[in-house]
Amino acid sequence: MEELLEKLDSYRKEIIDTQLTGAEAAETYRIRFLGTKGIVKNLFQEMKNVPADRKKEFGQILNEFKQLAESKYEQVKETVGGSASPDSSTDWTLPGDPIAVGTRHPISLVRNRIVQIFGRLGFAVAEGPEIEDDWHNFTALNLPEDHPARDMQDTFYIHKNPDWLLRTHTSSVQARVLETQKPPIRIICPGRVYRNETISARAHCFFHQCEGLYVDENVSFADLKQTLYFFVQEMFGKTVKIRFRPSYFPFTEPSAEMDITCLICGGTGCTVCKQSGWVEILGSGMVHPKMLENFGIDSEQYTGFAFGMGVERICQLKYRINDLRLYSQNDVRFLKQFVSAL
């Protein structure tokens, strides 16, 4: 007991004499006296060795000692900072280090914008698998086996099962939706498609399309035109003109391809529009009655229109991108240019 009191005396002196001049000295002090293995804790553990009749007296002395040790630290904590606080040399008003934030891929930006524009007209997003079967990609769309139009789309077939293929267009999603939903149907299907083409600045073995389908009573070609005109004006601005050219797709009748005035040259002629002043952006038409009947929809009661556009083409015109390969080369110098959302 006497020994303990002597120890306490010398610690008291040490506390009084210690100069807590900076954050480091304060921290060393805190650990030595107040830490979980510090002197104060240890002294309290000595209580058990103190004779019962002196416990009360020793307890008081210890409590006072603890207060002394703590108050010394409390005095400087505010100014030099405690263990969790910064030292005073930190300038908290300095600007932070910038964190590099990634950017969205241009294809995603354009896809999202397309979905947004059609969303305002009540079109919901529908999706389907990229590995399709022959039925959904061709036969259901009025392209029976041996139909010459199958050759237009250089298809990748899956070796294991020749009935499987990589979808050549997002029209396969039309088939899936008609299979499961009843009119009125108003959907937009964005997605990746595959064709066995030699990769160049103008062609790639995979690209993106966005299909639209609207089936209801009294849907006319005028609705198709107005819907696409609205889309073009929202996407490219009010000054852009559209024109329709008759075309052929097995699943639409009549069919038309739609061009817009070339945004690269403004219509005066350049290499992108092949000097014509117009660029094709989509295929479209009135849903073929046979296609509706394929899915048990009464083609006397219902009519519909469909269209399919290439997302890369829209992106090319929007951002003036002259080489399709740039989209998939992952060159950050290209990718980081698309910081703003459309």
Can you give the binding site for ligand PHE, defined by CB under 6 A?
169, 171, 211, 249, 252, 283-285, 306-308
Shortest distance, position 199 Cβ to ligand PHE, whole Å: 18
Distance CA 39, CA 235 (A): 73
Going by the DSSP 8-state scheme, the letter that residue 324 receives in this structure is G
Smallest distance, ligand PHE to C-beta of residue 213, A: 8
**Residue among 27 and 211 whose Cβ is closer to ligand PHE:** 211
For ligand PHE, which is the closer residue by CB, 188 or 306?
Answer: 306
38 or 254, CB closer to ligand PHE?
A: 254
Judged by beta carbon, residue 62 or residue 175, the one nearer ligand PHE is: 175
Shortest reach from residue 285's CB to ligand PHE, in Å: 5
| Sheet with 185-194, edge to edge strand ranges | 124-125, 185-194, 206-216, 303-310, 278-287, 252-261, 242-249
CA–CA gap between residue 165 and residue 159 (Å, rounded): 9
Min separation Cβ 258 and ligand PHE, Å: 10
Please identify the residue of the shown chain whose CB is closest to the bound ligand PHE. Answer: 308
Strands, E, within the chain: which ranges? 124-125, 131-133, 164-166, 185-194, 206-216, 242-249, 252-261, 278-287, 303-310
In 3-state terms, the chain is what percent helix, strand and coil (to 5)? 40, 20, 40
- C-beta of 211: minimal distance to ligand PHE in Å? 6
Q: Which is nearer to ligand PHE, 155 or 261 (CB)?
A: 155
